[in-house]
Copies of this chain bind each other. A is one copy, B any other.
Amino acid sequence: MAKKNIFYAQSGGVTAVINATACGLIETAREHKKELGKVLVGRNGILGALHEELIDTSLESKANIRGLRHTPAGAFGSCRYKLKSLTEHRAEYERLIEVFAAHDIGYFFYNGGGDSQDTTLKMAQMSRELGYPLQCIGIPKTVDNDLPITDNCPGFGSVAKYVAVSIREAGLDVASMAETSTKVFVMEVMGRHAGWIAAAAGLAATEEGQAPHLILLPEVAFDQKAFLAAVNKTVKKHGFCAIVVSEGLRTASGEFVASAGLKDAFGHTQLGGVAPVIAQLIKSELGYKYHWAVCDYLQRAARHIASATDVEQAYTLGQKAIEFALQGKDRIMLTLVRKPGARYRWSVGSTALDNVANQEKTLPKHFITKDGFGITKACKDYLEPLIQGEDYPPYKKGLPQYVKLNNQLLAKKIKRHFQEKH
C-alpha cells in the first residue's frame, strides 16, 4: 500500500492542551515514516482544507513540535465554521475531497467538539459516496466537557483546575477584606449550556465555609429569591460569600440572566456579563459591597496552571489517533475511558461517530445538590482526578515560553479558488 498523507485540523474554541494533541499526533506519525506520509494541518481549521492552505509540519523542527505540548491555544489557527448537511453544503464536502485527493491524503483527523464530530461523520459518508478512500477519526476537545460517551474531554481538566485555583485564591482575598469592605465576590466562568466548568470550581471548597459557597449552573433555573436568601445566610454565617456563575445561567422562562440587567449606551447586550448582573442584584437587594471577575479566555488559555492529567490525556489521544488509524480504524471518535476502581485509571477507547454527533452532555441531576447551589460528593469524585498534577511550561525572563511555528504552506495544486458559504 502506498503511503498516504495525513490531514489534521483544530476546530472551534481552543484550549490549553489542544496543541498537546497535535504534538502527540505529529510525533507519533514521525515514528511511522515507513507507513505514513506527511502530517498536513489545515490553516485555521477546516478552512485551510477548503482554501487549500495546508501547513507542512515536516518542515517544523523536533523542538518546535515538542514545544506544542506546553503551548496553549491553536498553533495552526482554528475556526468557527460549521459544515452543514451533505445536501446544503455538498460543494464544501466535494471540495474537501478534491483537495485531499490532490495532496494524496488518506487520513482525516478532526480535533474538536460536537459540531466537529458531526463534520467528521459527514466526511466519512461523503468519501464513501464519492469512492475516495479516507479514514476519518474524530479527536475530542472541548473545555465544556459536554461530549457524550467519552468520560471527559481534553481541555476541560485544565479549565477546571484554573477555576478551582482561582476561586480558592480569590476566596481568601474576600475573606480578608470582608470585615470592612467587600462581602460578596462573583466569578463568571464559561459554559453556555453545560455547567461542568462552574461545577469544577466547587472542588476548591474542601471544608465548611470555604469558597465557593454558591454555584449557579445553567442546568438550574435561576431562582432569585432562593439565591438571595442563600447569599444572605452565607454572609451571616461566614462573614462573606463567594459565588461562581456560569455564563449561560437562565431564568425559569429560559432567558439568559446576562442579558437581563446590563445594557450599553446603545441598548446592545452580549452574553458574557452575568457576573455584574448578579453582583448588582445582591447590592441592590441586600446592600453588600461586591467585586466581580469575568475569566473569559483567561480560563481556557491558562496553560501556566494546566492539569498534568489533562495534558497527558490530550497528548495520548493524538498518539492513539495515529495508532488506531494504522490499525485501520475508521469513522470513530476516540474516547477517554475511566477504568473501574477507587484509584483513577484511564485508557483510550473509541466509539462510532454516529453515536456522538450533535449531542450534549450536561451535569446529571445527582451531581447537583438539592438546593441547586452546589455539587455533590459524586460530582467531586468524578471531577477530582481530572485536575491532578501540575505541568508547568518552561519560563524565560519571568514568562512562559510558548512556541510559534513557522506554519509554512504547501504549494497549491488546484487552480480554482473556493469561496465557502457563510
Contacts and interface: CB of A to CB of B under 8 A. Distances in A.
A58 interface: no
Contacts of A206: 399
A296 interface: yes
A396 B390 CA distance: 10
Contacts of A16: 169
Interface string A169-211: 1101111111111000101000000000000000110100000
Interface in A37-57: 44, 47
Given A165-B400, A291-B272, A296-B292, A80 B180 contact: yes
A305 B307 contact: no
Interface string A73-90: 111011111000000000
Contact of A387 (B164, B168, B262, B398): B398
Contacts of A283: 268, 270
Contacts of A304: 165, 169, 305
Nearest to A161: B398
Contacts of A74: 176-177
Contacts of A397: 384, 388
A280 B297 contact: no
Interface residues of A, number: 82
Contact of A399 (B80, B165, B303): B165
Given A78-B176, A176-B74, A280 B292 contact: no
A421 to B, nearest CB: 13
A31 interface: no
A334 to B, nearest CB: 22
24 contacts: A14-B176, A72-B169, A73-B173, A73-B175, A74-B176, A79-B177, A79-B179, A79-B180, A80-B180, A81-B180, A169-B303, A169-B400, A173-B297, A173-B300, A174-B297, A203-B399, A261-B264, A262-B262, A263-B263, A265-B280, A270-B283, A292-B294, A387-B398, A392-B392
Interface of A: 10, 13-14, 16, 44, 47, 71-75, 77-81, 161, 164-166, 168-170, 172-181, 185, 187, 203-204, 206, 260-266, 268, 270, 272-273, 275-277, 280, 283-284, 291-298, 300-305, 307, 384, 387-390, 392, 395, 397-400, 402
